[in-house]
Amino acid sequence: MGSLTGLLFAGGLGFMLLAVASGLDFGAPPMLIGSEIQAHAPQQTGAANIVTSVVLGYRAIDTLGELSILFASAVSAGLVLGRRHTTAGTQTKGGFILQSGGSLLFPLMMTIGFYIIFHGHLTPGGGFQGGVILAAAFFLPLLARPGARLHHKSLSLIEGFAGASFILIGLFAMLEGKAFLQPMLIQDTLGQLVSAGTLPLLYLAVGLKVGAELASLLSRLIQTEAPQ
């Protein structure tokens, strides 16, 4: 009975939301700030990828908040899962293919990850996507050799300093008399790698932070003991 009500209510809510959404003019958004940003982004941020200029320029503090959320959840997960238990003995090693594949893939993935990060202001992709790939790169050896330990100290160093540098870049702008997180050093070479001033630096910070965060999160997950 209760479940039926739940289903009906969820369906009803969906139907009503749909009815409301049907009042929207799909495909012709007002784009009040969208078109404005589109017009000014190249001059103001120097990034060809306008999404990047929004993420790291116009709404940089959102991104900072988002990094903080990821950090908060990693810290919380650390608090919840407590100190890591080494349960390597109970786990079987990955097969040969996985192992060798892992060691082969590692440099490749690192390269791809950094590539994506550094081209975030030009092409789709950026710190988050690259960061995930970096995390995967770190994580792969762990999957292949469960006994292997990630270097947690260095991970947490990266984690802390990457996040801090994002803020410090922002504060640096303030020192220069500009606003917090204001993009600087914009070159007039749209489409080039060094066109977007501090934006790629920010993305690098994001990428490193996301990568380190996720890697430590995953390793923490994999190293918690399984229930008997």
Kindly state whether residue 32 participates in binding other proteins, applying the rule CB under 8 A.
Answer: yes
Binding window for other proteins (CB under 8 A); candidates: 42-50, 94-102, 103-111: 42-50
Kindly state whether residue 21 participates in binding other proteins, applying the rule CB under 8 A.
Answer: yes
CB 126 within 8 A of CB 113: no
Kindly state whether residue 221 participates in binding other proteins, applying the rule CB under 8 A.
Answer: yes
| Torsion, CA 188, CA 189, CA 193, CA 194, rounded to 10 | -30
Q: Residue 136 Cβ, how far from other proteins at the closest point, in Å? A: 7
**Site size toward other proteins, by CB under 8 A:** 116
Q: Residue 123 Cβ, how far from other proteins at the closest point, in Å? A: 7
User: Nearest-5° angle of CA 86, CA 90, CA 96?
Assistant: 100
Sign of the CA dihedral running 70, 71, 76, 81: positive
By CB under 8 A, what part of segment 119-158 binds other proteins?
A: 122-126, 128-129, 132-133, 135-136, 139, 153, 156-157
Kindly state whether residue 227 participates in binding other proteins, applying the rule CB under 8 A.
Answer: yes
By CB under 8 A, what part of segment 52-91 binds other proteins?
A: 52-55, 57-66, 68-81, 83
Q: Residue 226 Cβ, how far from other proteins at the closest point, in Å? A: 5
Q: C-alpha distances in angstroms, 188 versus 35, 46, 56, 60, 125? A: 21, 7, 18, 21, 22
Kindly state whether residue 181 participates in binding other proteins, applying the rule CB under 8 A.
Answer: yes
**What whole-number distance in Å separates Cα of residue 216 and Cα of residue 74?**
8
One-letter amino acid identity for 57? G
